[in-house]
Amino acid sequence: MTIIGMAKITSKGQVTLPVTVRRLLKLNKGQNVAFCIDKAGVVLARLKVSIDHSPYNAAEWSKIEQLTAVKGKILDNSSDAKRHLQEL
């Protein structure tokens, strides 16, 4: 494994991705990333959220994106997320 950058975790659990990593993964402000764990460690991947094959329609995805951008709410599963949207 090649180390291409390092960062510290803040008191809020946040990490700033080094510019080298952002450039290699072509990450821009507002894009989503996925964290995967395997025996070798943690893998960071650029993530494209798609409404294809989703339990949500385009309007619901728009609400989800707005809510997560502002409040950072984390829900355990898609059922909880759908229920949360219906309660809004």
pLDDT score, position 70: 57
Pick among 2.60.40.420, 2.10.260.10, 3.40.140.10, 2.60.40.1180: CATH of 1-48? 2.10.260.10
pLDDT score, position 69: 66
d(CA 47, CA 32): 5
Length in residues, the chain: 88
Residues 6+ positions from 85 with CB-CB distance below 8 Å: 56, 60, 63, 64
CB 58 within 8 A of CB 43: no
pLDDT score, position 26: 87
pLDDT score, position 49: 65
What's the average pLDDT block by block, 10 residues per block, for the chain (88 residues)? 86 92 88 83 78 73 71 68 74
pLDDT score, position 9: 93
Other residues' Cβ atoms within 10 Å of the Cβ of residue 58? 9
The full set of domain ranges for the chain reads: 1-48, 58-87
